[in-house]
């Protein structure tokens, strides 16, 4: 049995930290505040030896004087006083990717919070790490401080995951839940989110669903033993959601949330595939996810023996994300004593990950919310309902409401009975080009209790 009681007798684990933004500064604060606790749990002292960032003079609210400084962050992996490289620079390519490749090539363990880099280059990096015999960890890349990757890799390891779904972007969740609480429209709430620091100056990655799609593709790889396929994630953001949609959803017993969903799904011909989608949904008030408000993340994992597991907590911020980063460092330190520090980043070797084809969505059964803006003239409702009838869409309820200040346009929202998604697509095709329809209809799937 390994003795971990005398941590000072073992050499420290030496950390190079690249990127000193909100999370990087949070890592330093956490490691300083909890140094003794971390050492006991890691079985050895864990110390930062060198740091690097773009701007050496910027005030980050932490004392950097105890650490060596490197102007060229891509070269810190070559230093002799480094065992683990922590990459917190961000971006799918550029210096972050160069640093990650250099760290692995130098035989240094890699810890990263970079979801975009893992989504685009995770397979190649993991394969290189396996070949070099070093650990690669990225818990902080998905859902901040929530240990959902650890939960999938370890806690649910004996299960066949049948489906995972959840709220993967705190910015969108803050915007939607604030619209719900205040009745304000999207643009106004987005501006407030930017002022409060919940949204970036350029919020495109968040509000168009790209950030959530990065995270979903990573979770899918671990959950289903599949190669990461970010390009196949069907992605739709929240920028077209109106206060009127929120109000109609509420009247029907639902809220609106941006939901990422992944499940193994055979197509109509029985060919196995992987379905991945990020899109706004109507979520029933009795569903667990309907009560996830503000900048919070939540992931539901359904295993064939474990049943439904819920992971919920802060999806971003310096404290939660730094917590996940340091947890990965502690795991690496523990692995140095057990000989398993180079375990597989995606639970199984990269060579064993399946190349799962994107599953089509047309045959999937569900209920839909469809919102139109139409010209206020006779016959429009008949035209819409006729298109639904001809496409085989059964209407459960229909709401018509005027839109103030829009020159006679009328909001028409309908909810369908359960049916194939292809039928809704066909109905919209039949209505395409109609002079009665103003703008593009909005379709949201419905997530029940």
Active site residues: 215
Cα 396 from chain centre: 32
Are 98 and 52 in contact, with CB atoms under 8 Å apart?
A: no
- Helix, strand, coil share of the chain (percent; to 5): 40, 25, 35
Strands 161-167 and 234-235: unpaired
Q: Which residue, 81, 25, 105, is CA-closest to 58?
A: 25
Secondary element (H or E) of residue 413: strand 410-416
Per-residue tokens: 442: 């909005």
**DSSP bridge partners of 259:** 279
Q: Give the integer Cα–Cα distance in Å for 234 and 213.
A: 8
* Strand stretches in 173-270, DSSP E: 234-235, 254-264
Q: Give the integer Cα–Cα distance in Å for 118 and 170.
A: 19
Q: Look up residue 358 and give its DSSP letter.
A: B
* Strand stretches in 207-306, DSSP E: 234-235, 254-264, 274-284, 296-303
Are 247 and 282 in contact, with CB atoms under 8 Å apart?
A: no
Q: Give the integer Cα–Cα distance in Å for 74 and 87.
A: 10
The DSSP code sequence of 196-243 is TTSS-SS-HHHHTTHHHHHHHHHHHHHHHTB---GGG-EE--STT--H
Q: Which residue, 173, 181, 177, 244, is CA-closest to 209?
A: 173
Neighbouring residues of 38: CB distance < 8 A, sequence distance ≥ 6 = 31, 46, 326, 330
């Amino acid at each position: 049995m390994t003795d971990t009681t005398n941590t000072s007798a073992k050499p420290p684990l030496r950390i190079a930290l690249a990127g000193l933004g909100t999370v990087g500064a949070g890592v330093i604060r956490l490691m300083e505040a909890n140094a003794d606790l971390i050492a006991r749990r890691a079985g050895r002292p864990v110390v930062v030896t060198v740091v690097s960032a773009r701007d050496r003079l910027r005030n980050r609210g932490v004392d950097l004087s105890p650490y060596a400084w490197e102007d060229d962050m891509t070269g810190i992996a070559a230093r002799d006083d480094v065992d683990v490289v922590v990459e917190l620079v961000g971006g799918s390519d550029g210096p972050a990717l160069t640093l990650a490749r250099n760290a692995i090539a130098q035989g240094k363990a890699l810890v990263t919070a970079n979801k975009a880099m893992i989504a685009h280059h995770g397979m190649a990096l993991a394969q290189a790490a396996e070949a070099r015999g070093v650990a690669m960890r990225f818990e902080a890349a998905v859902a901040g401080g929530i240990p959902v990757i650890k939960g999938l890799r370890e806690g649910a390891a004996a299960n066949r995951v049948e489906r995972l779904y959840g709220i993967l972007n705190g910015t969108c969740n803050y915007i939607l839940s604030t619209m719900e609480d205040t009745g304000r429209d999207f643009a106004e709430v987005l501006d407030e989110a930017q002022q409060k620091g919940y949204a970036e100056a350029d919020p495109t990655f968040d509000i168009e669903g790209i950030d959530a799609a990065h995270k979903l593709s990573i979770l899918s790889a671990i959950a289903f033993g599949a190669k990461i396929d970010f390009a196949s994630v069907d992605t739709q953001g929240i920028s077209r959601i109106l206060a009127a949609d929120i109000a109609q959803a509420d009247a029907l017993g639902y809220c609106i949330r941006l939901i990422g969903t992944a499940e193994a799904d055979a197509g109509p011909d029985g060919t196995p595939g992987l379905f991945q989608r990020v899109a706004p949904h109507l979520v029933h008030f009795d569903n667990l996810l309907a009560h996830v408000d503000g900048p919070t993340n939540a992931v539901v994992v359904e295993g064939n023996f474990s049943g439904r597991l819920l992971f919920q907590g802060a999806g971003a911020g310096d404290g939660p994300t730094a917590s996940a980063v340091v947890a990965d460092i502690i795991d690496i330190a523990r692995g140095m004593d057990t000989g398993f520090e180079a375990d597989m980043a995606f639970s199984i070797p990269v060579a064993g990950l399946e190349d799962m084809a994107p599953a089509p969505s047309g045959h999937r059964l569900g209920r839909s919310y469809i919102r139109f803006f139409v010209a206020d003239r006779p016959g429009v409702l008949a035209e819409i309902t006729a298109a639904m009838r001809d496409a085989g869409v059964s209407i459960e309820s229909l709401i018509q409401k005027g839109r103030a200040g829009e020159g006679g346009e009328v909001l028409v929202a309908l909810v369908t009975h359960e049916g194939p998604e292809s039928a809704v697509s066909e109905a919209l095709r039949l209505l395409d080009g109609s002079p009665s329809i103003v703008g593009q209809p909005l379709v949201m799937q419905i997530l029940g209790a």
